[in-house]
Every structure is written in structure tokens, then in C-alpha cells.
Amino acid sequence: MGQCYGKPPNANNDWANTTTTIVDAGDRPPPTTGWSSANNGTPVHVHSVKNTPARSSATSPWPSPYPHGTASPLPAGVSPSPSRSTPRRFFKKPFPPPSPAKHIKASLARRFGHAKPRDGPIPEDGETEPDRSLDKNFGYHKNFGAKYELGKEVGRGHFGHTCQARGRKGELRDQPLAVKIISKAKMTTAISIEDVRREVKILKALSGHKHLVGYYDACEDANNVYIVMEGGRYTEEDAKLIVVQILSVVAFCHLQGVVHRDLKPENFLFTSRNEDADMKLIDFGLSDFIRPDERLNDIVGSAYYVAPEVLHRSYSLEADIWSIGVITYILLCGSRPFWARTESGIFRGVLRADPNFADAPWPSVSAEAKDFVKRLLNKDYRKRMTAAQALTHPWLQSENHPIPLDILVYKLVKVYLHATPFKRAALKGTESESDPAPTPSDMAGSEARNHYWFMKPKEL
């Protein structure tokens, strides 16, 4: 609303009888009669604003908003409002806010030209966007079947799978190859198509280095894209060598009262480029000391390798064993046991889903290897193997490696040392005179499957 200005009060003005009213010009009521002491009590036609003194518009410091020569619709003695807004006038519809998708539209225009993007709802999780306008012709050779012979599947990912192959003719005849097969049905966006093109370009550009997989050819048909690469061998025996080294160093850390909390392939380095090079565990930035009966509650680690009890904020050394299980799963099949597009989706899979042992190449993996992984990826941490127990599993027994002292021994020694003399006497009384008293090692052998925590050596 605008403001009203009038005469300042003086001794001769009667404030109680002076009233002036300002209303909109469009709905002004008929003038009312008021009394003014300036006119000696003579009635005059004024509009009333209660308790507001009048002032001549001639002395108003505000310029008139009306054109030159046009009379003001306000009565004499009332100056126009200094505010240029119209009283009691409101917009029926507010101005729309700026679109938050302008930068998205601009990005689409740069990628696809200035054509109008397709209308329709955004696909939800699990749905695929229609690909009616996508060009899935890569320009690669279309005679894959005539040049190469596919073998069995050796690995499967979320967007493709890899098979063994052999050349039929030319320089690659009878040579072992590896072929990555990417389904065109899964290329639902222009970005996914561009990813395939970029992968082939990168392989072409980097081919030739002795420590990079060799690239030979790229083919396509109506259903798939085939990337032909150098073949090789990777067996369970190779995975065993890596798993044994991981378990050995983790068992040592646990005996020293250290939990790593971030075990993943990126944190293991080879000492040299030799085939039989040793591995080194690195990055103890998230590690912590832990007591025998202590439970940690802070959520740390990498999403793909985090244990269920870590997400429940109550965990101990068993969380590292779960991470080793995830690494072993990847070494044996080439894909992660729990995968999603978001971190929250990965966590839901860790808590609720079970690893897939049905798809290739798991049918060709030995039963001992599958049992080994299942025992490490047990969601009940109390039933999970320790690092020393894992080294004695049938899948790794053929390997010539030393077995470290199990953390269970420390726990059982602590129980024995804290036992009362009466309990010790009872233990001795149960044995015959020819049998020696049970030692901590004997106790460890009998209870190794039921306990999973330890005591530090300095506490003995």
C-alpha cells in the first residue's frame, strides 16, 4: 500500500474531527462530508483517512505521476503516494522460477544438435530408455564368424562377457584369442555407444606394449560388438598364489592386534614384474588397533568390499576376512559379487543379496574353490573363517606355505590363564593319570570352530 502525507498538526486543528480516506480510483466510493477547522466548521467534500492529517499537494516533495495537463483523480489536499505500486493490486499468477534443466538441455543440444529432445518420462531404475533414434552402426567388419571361432565363456560382466576364441585364417589362424562380446541391446543411450567406440580407440592407440593386452580386431553384427584381443591363461592355481599371500599378511596383522579395514586389489602391490613376484600390503590409513573383546562402530572402507557388520556399526577382525572373500570372488570369475549403480544400492546388496555362483564361469570352477569363497562371504561373522583357518582350507592345502599361529590360540590361552584353581583342578581330574593335562594348543584344536577373537601377546 502507498503512504499518505498530510498537514502537520497545529494548535487550531481538531485531530478528532479530521478524517481523510484514500481508496483505489477504480472503486472510489462517493465523497463523504467531513469537518475541517481550516474552513471554520464549513462542511467540505474530502475522503477520509482516519487519524491522518491532510497536506496540500502543492508542497509535496514527490513529483506527480500523472501526465502534464491531466488532473489528479485524488481530491484536493491529498498528495499521490510516493510508491509507484497500485494499492491492492496483486498478480494472479507468480512469475515461474528459472528452469533447473536449462544446462541439461544445452548439453543435449551440443551432443545431438539443436533438435528438440524427445518428450516422455525419465526411465526409472531397472527400465531402459527406448533407443528408436540411436545409431548403433559402428562401421566395424561384419564377418566375425568367418574369421574367428568362439570357445567357452571365461568371464562375465554387467555389460558384456568374454569368451575364448581361435583364429580361422590368416596370421591369427589357430592362435588362442580372447573376444569381448558387448550386446547392442544394452546400449540404451548415446553415452553407452560412445563408451564402446572409445574403448576400441584406446585399445588401438595403446596396443604394442608388452604389459598391455594386445588388440587385433573389432567386428559387429546386428546383435553384438566383438573386440578381438590377445588370449592368455589364468587358472585357479594363479588365484591360489595371490590368495595365499593375502591371507598370510592379514593373519600377521590380526595377531598384532591390527585390523586393516580397507582390503582391496588396489592396496596390494607386486615387488617386481616377474610372474612369481611377492605382494606387499599398503595403505594403512583406515587401519586401527583393536582389543580382543572390542567392537568398532565407524563405517569405513570401500563400498564393494565392506562387510555387512560394518554397515551395522559393530565389527571386528572378521570384516577383513569378508573383504578377502570379495577379492577371491573377483579373481575366480572376473566380476564383483555385489554391484549396483549407486553406493546405497551396493550396500543393499551386501546386506540382503547372496553372491551368484550359477553363471559362467562358476560351473567350471572347482567345488573346493566355491566352498572357500562361500565360507569367507558368510554374512554371519561368527561362522566366518579366520585367516589361519582359511590357509588350512582344502582348496589351499596343496600349496607349500607355512601356517601362521591362529588368533584363536591367544583367546584360549587367556581363558586358561584366567581360570580359577578349582577349574584347573577339574580339568586335571577329568584326565587319567597316564594322560597329561590339556595344553592351550590342545584346547585350541578342540574349540577352534567356536571362537573368533584373540588376545595380544603382550597381555600373556
Residue partners of 10: CB distance under 8 A and separation at least 6:
none
Dist CA 398 CA 294 (whole Å): 35
Class of the CATH domain delimited by 236-402: mainly alpha
Q: What's phi and psi for 415, nearest 5 deg? A: -65, -40
The domain defined by 144-230 folds into Phosphorylase Kinase; domain 1 (3.30.200)
What pLDDT does residue 382 have?
A: 92
What pLDDT does residue 16 have?
A: 43
Q: Are 448 and 408 in contact (CB under 8 A)?
A: yes
What pLDDT does residue 399 have?
A: 60
What pLDDT does residue 283 have?
A: 93
Q: Are 452 and 412 in contact (CB under 8 A)?
A: no
Dist CA 281 CA 302 (whole Å): 16
What pLDDT does residue 279 have?
A: 92
> Is 180 labelled as part of a ligand binding site?
yes
For the chain, give every domain's residue range. 1-72, 144-230, 236-402, 409-459
Q: Does 361 sit behind a cis peptide bond, omega within 30 degrees of 0 on the bond before it? A: yes
Residue partners of 365: CB distance under 8 A and separation at least 6:
236, 332, 333
pLDDT (tens, 9 = 90+) of the chain, 460 residues, equals 455 554 555 544 444 444 444 444 444 444 444 444 444 444 444 444 444 444 444 455 556 555 555 566 666 666 665 555 555 555 555 666 666 566 677 777 766 655 454 544 445 444 454 445 788 999 999 999 999 999 988 877 777 888 999 999 888 998 999 999 999 998 989 999 999 999 999 999 988 887 788 999 999 999 999 999 998 777 888 999 999 999 999 999 998 889 999 999 999 999 988 878 899 999 999 999 998 778 999 999 999 999 999 999 999 999 999 999 999 999 998 889 998 889 999 999 999 999 999 988 898 899 999 999 999 999 999 999 999 999 999 999 866 777 777 776 766 677 767 776 766 666 666 555 545 545 544 544 444 434 333 333 333 3
Q: Are 49 and 81 in contact (CB under 8 A)?
A: no
Dist CA 373 CA 441 (whole Å): 27
Count, in order, helices (H) and strands (E) of the chain. 12, 11
C-alpha cell read off for 280: 606387499
Terminal Cα distance for the chain, rounded: 85
Dist CA 180 CA 26 (whole Å): 79
Q: What is the largest CA-CA distance in the chain?
A: 136
Distances (CA, A) of 162 to 18, 278, 308: 96, 28, 30
Count of residues making up the chain = 460
What pLDDT does residue 436 have?
A: 54
Residues serving a catalytic function are 262
C-alpha cell read off for 410: 591367544
What pLDDT does residue 245 have?
A: 94
Which H or E run contains 147? helix 144-147
Question: Hey, which residues does 43 pair with through a beta bridge?
Answer: 35
Dist CA 154 CA 149 (whole Å): 15
What pLDDT does residue 421 have?
A: 72
Instruction: Tally the C-alpha atoms within 13 A of residue 350's C-alpha that lie toward its C-beta.
Output: 23
Please determine whether the domains at 144-230 and 236-402 fall in the same fold group of CATH.
Answer: no
